[in-house]
Structure 1
Amino acid sequence: MAFNNDRSHMHSCCGCPDMPREGKAGPSQEFHSSPKQRHSDSGWTETNDWWQKAGTDAPAGAKWGESALKREPECHMELDRLCADSNHTVLIDTRAFSNGKIVPCKGQPIWDSNHVKLPQHYPINSRESRWAATERALQTLMHRGASARDVETAIKIYNQAHSKDWHFDGLRIFAEPIPLLRQHCSHAITMSQVQISCLLANAFFCTFPHRNATHPGSEYGNFPTINFSRLFSERSPRTFQKLRALFHYFDTVTEEATKPTGLVTFERICLPQNQWPDWNKRMEQLTNLEVYGNGFIEREGKGMLQVDFAASMVGGGVLGRGLVQEEIRFMQCPELIVSRLFTEKLADNECLRITGVQTYSNTRGYSDTFAWESPHKDNTQRDEWKRIYCQIVAIDATNFQDPRQQYTERSIQRELLKAYVGFRGDPNIPSAYTAAIATGNWGCGAFKGDPMLKALIQMMAASVAQRDLAYFTFNNMKQAEELKRMFMILKSQKITVGKLYNLLQDYCDYSSRHHHHHQQRVKNVFEFISEKIGVCPSHL
């Protein structure tokens, strides 16, 4: 399966039909809609109707009326007919799709450095092809009662080079019967949910060739891992809970009654330098901000552009020990994992936007307290391309080993650019038809980001992108109140993005002068800006 400068093709996966379609990567170009096609202006209202429709109460901190944030499908613009072009690879037959059917495209396999190498196209260099050996090994698992040891034995048959150094202790702790299942270039791939399940089945059974070596300089050293071998090796409660979520996903997609029936689009967006904002000259005032002291991006932010606090290798440690915001979302929506198959490490001017993934599981906790809780029945509506109204954008924050490094103009420019690339909408769609952004303390955990600074950066990026912002502080009520006060100060003084950028530059100068004086308390960025513009925060 594939995307590159030429043609891309995809064939069968773990017993599935052929699945290819071509597309040529080109310059950044949005493809979703046409401004002349839109739903009626009466199709949505800025009231609390959305929460009533969703069957849930408005979260604490939500405001209604004129400042209510827009969500899909209420603000959705009608899409053009689904078709492949030089910027968009479509892996299903679009003619059949226009007649209400989802069937894979047929095409010729390509085995080169620009395409995903599929296991069944491995070059034959022995009496038996590698795919024939793979099929024979996996067929032994189709009888009832196949054990975790049987899975390990089968995987090692066609991965003999790793038979001694791959261990499966983590898989053995979940020994129930198991069901069977490239940078600087903008391009999108749309595929069916069934095709995704086939690819993930191959990932589970570690069939993807040339994807096991991850050292620098290796063929796929700049890509995330996709085969599940590392997950199987982790003997920990985290692995057990991840496998519960994954097995529930596979159970769901292999049952005829619950098999998913839609499409998902994965779009890598690379913003050329001539489109980067000149931050100190931006005259936009801040767009609306709603602060939620509690609630979740994926739940209360439903219908918004939801931010994945990503690693530059999308998915982060999802197939290892990682269990923070990104990995948890990938466990709730395992279709996200397939992005690791074809998404090279993100550069500073790039993001990955995923549209249409389904939520399969409810989870609770974080890190060592994470647990699979229950199945999730996702009844979210679908758009004209049969994609669930769920759009996620993966943007990776800088990992500041020394937190003081973030208070430099260079660091702030990098984070502003990354956020803007992620938040920027399709230029063909008016802002009135662009959903708000649901985000939070992006890069503020292990990456040591300053939540106050990160909030201001995201507010600025959202304002230039002409989108409103919903900010979740994840039960940190003190932060929520401070952020609300800071926003009120900035709005009351009509502070533009350019002015705020210059204030942040001043704060960087202040911070660098004072961080050596350990006896002297350094003001935080909110205090500094408030005093600089002559407003005392406590007066609001």
Structure 2
Amino acid sequence: MYHLPSSPTIRVLDRFSTLPDEYADDDQLVSFWPLLSAILLRPVSTTKDVVDALEEIAHVLRQSTGPAGDYGTLSKVLNALTFIDFPPGPHPGMTLRLSRSQAACLVAHQFLTSLASPRDRSEYYDFGIWYDSEQPHPRAAEMYITAMCVFFADLPDINILEEYATRDLEMGGGVSYVLASAPARSVGNTPMSPFRVLHNDVHVTGPHSPSSMDPNGALVVAANKVIGFGKSATGEEVTLGTTPEACPAVLVTPVLTGDQVVVITGASPVLRVTGERRNVAWEIPDTRTASADFDAWRMHRAGGPLLLMDALELDEHVSELGQVPDLVPENIEREVHKATTSFMATAATTVYTPLWGCGAFCGDPAVKMCLLWLAASMASVELVLLLDARGQALADELEPFVRRWQEKTAAELRQWLGRVPRTLRGGQVLAYIDT
């Protein structure tokens, strides 16, 4: 069980005598929640006030300043954002429910670094990793802090969030985090599902945004088995780091096993991001809204499902020199099972995917797309491959292949994949299957 800051079991030393003496027990410890509440009820009018509060939280909870260091990057971003206002007496927390208010509460605690370490991870569970001046990817850290500030600035009045918390859930709203698993399925003679390629000149995030994705779509996130945001700009980090309501998933998700995926529903990105890694850039959309009309705000914030699924790290699975590890039978079965479980975990009829499992995980793009197409066919969903200009060669190879195989079955494609010599790669694999 994960203990939230309101748990009476979390007791700390009130190092700065913030609370009256009667709050302390015989060991001079106090409950963390009233101490945190007292810290957050102080007037905040400058960036320094924010940093002072964060430093006190870190000192009493962790006996140090934690991973945030000198808070230089956080201070830089807060000082640059013109829409940030510092009202006095911020609310110390909401309820422990999967409503919009709960999600906002957890995101706020991650921003404040006021959460104890979850059971399955000791780092990268709150946003203090972005605050120090020394960052491996300074632009990424600034982008993620900006996203959090946009998210908080767009929140409705706290009274509105609390008033509609129950109604939000009753109407099927809120944000959900689901750990899904399922037994392996037989391929069978399932018809091949529709498969198309969607091009952008540059890599663009946010296809799970209500403004850019069809209402029945889901987005594959090429995740690590320890899911989460981080300090760089991988696809997973950018997706979660610019989608604040997705970030609490790290607090409740264990290390993924081979048959598990995480599905986050209802979280929407707050920035439009182009490029990736060292070439990342972002903008704050004009559609920002902080509405007193809860229903309008709720619909604006409702993002499509995010399918966090970890691919095999194939550089660790090469058994013979020169062979393509994607084509090892047990690897094929694992990847198809993982993707099928993910695609069937929502009511989505269309799944958007980047080059899942390629790049750092060393997957072969042509083989991986065949495996994802198999999974999409078994789940009876349309597959849409998201490519930028660098993927043109793959698109040129895939499009005629898809046209020829569209009338065949998943069982036939699986059989052909089992026959492909493991020394072939990329377009050679597609050409062999087409012989």
TM-score, normalised with respect to structure 1:
0.62
Partner of 1:227: 126
Structure 2 unmatched runs, 5+: 12-24, 319-323
Of 37, 41, 46, which aligns to 1:145? 46
Report the 3-state secondary structure (helix = DSSP H, G, I; strand = E; otherwise coil) of the residue aligned with 2:360.
coil
Partner of 1:241: 143
Q: Cα offset for 1:366?
A: 1.3
Q: Deviations over 1:386-415 (max 9, x none)?
A: 782622211111122257432311111111
Matched, 1:120 2:11: no
Matched, 1:200 2:114: no
Report the 3-state secondary structure (helix = DSSP H, G, I; strand = E; otherwise coil) of the residue aligned with 1:471.
strand
Of 189, 193, 198, which aligns to 1:287? 193
Partner of 1:27: none
Q: Deviations over 1:167-209 (max 9, x none)?
A: 134334335377557xxxxxxx972212211111111111112
Cα distance in 2 for partners of 1:258, 1:368 equals 40
More helix by share: 2
Cα distance in 2 for partners of 1:242, 1:267 equals 21
User: Does the CA contact (< 8 Å) of 1:206 and 1:227 recur in 2?
Assistant: yes
Q: How does 1:385-464 map to 2 (within 5 A)?
A: 388=302, 390-401=304-315, 404-425=324-345, 434-464=348-378
Partner of 1:209: 116
Q: Cα offset for 1:267?
A: 4.2
User: Does the CA contact (< 8 Å) of 1:443 and 1:449 recur in 2?
Assistant: yes
Partner of 2:214: 302
User: Does the CA contact (< 8 Å) of 1:353 and 1:391 recur in 2?
Assistant: yes
Q: Percent identity?
A: 19
User: Does the CA contact (< 8 Å) of 1:138 and 1:154 recur in 2?
Assistant: no
CA RMSD of aligned residues (A): 3.3
Q: Deviations over 1:234-283 (max 9, x none)?
A: 5323212221121111111265799797533424243343xx1234xx21
Cα distance in 1 for partners of 2:269, 2:253 equals 21
Q: Cα offset for 1:121?
A: 1.4
Q: How does 1:345-384 map to 2 (within 5 A)?
A: 345-375=255-285, 377=287
Partner of 2:19: none
Distance 1:239 1:164, change over 3 A: closer
User: Does the CA contact (< 8 Å) of 2:103 and 2:175 recur in 1?
Assistant: no
Counterpart of 1:471, as a letter, is: L
Matched, 1:488 2:400: no
Cα distance in 1 for partners of 2:315, 2:85 equals 41
Matched, 1:326 2:236: yes
Q: Deviations over 1:481-500 (max 9, x none)?
A: 21111112223xx4321221
User: Does the CA contact (< 8 Å) of 2:343 and 2:375 recur in 1?
Assistant: yes
Partner of 2:428: 527
TM-score, normalised with respect to structure 2:
0.76
Distance 1:259 1:481, change over 3 A: farther
User: Does the CA contact (< 8 Å) of 2:180 and 2:345 recur in 1?
Assistant: no
Counterpart of 2:131, as a letter, is: F
Cα distance in 2 for partners of 1:405, 1:269 equals 27
Distance 1:256 1:327, change over 3 A: same
Of 259, 270, 277, which aligns to 2:185? 277
Q: Deviations over 1:310-365 (max 9, x none)?
A: 222222xx2x3131222222233211111112122222111112222233222333
Q: Cα offset for 1:457?
A: 0.5
Q: Cα offset for 1:371?
A: 3.0
Q: Cα offset for 1:152?
A: 4.0
Cα distance in 2 for partners of 1:160, 1:267 equals 27
Distance 1:327 1:255, change over 3 A: farther
Structure 1 unmatched runs, 5+: 1-113, 182-188, 212-218, 515-522, 535-540
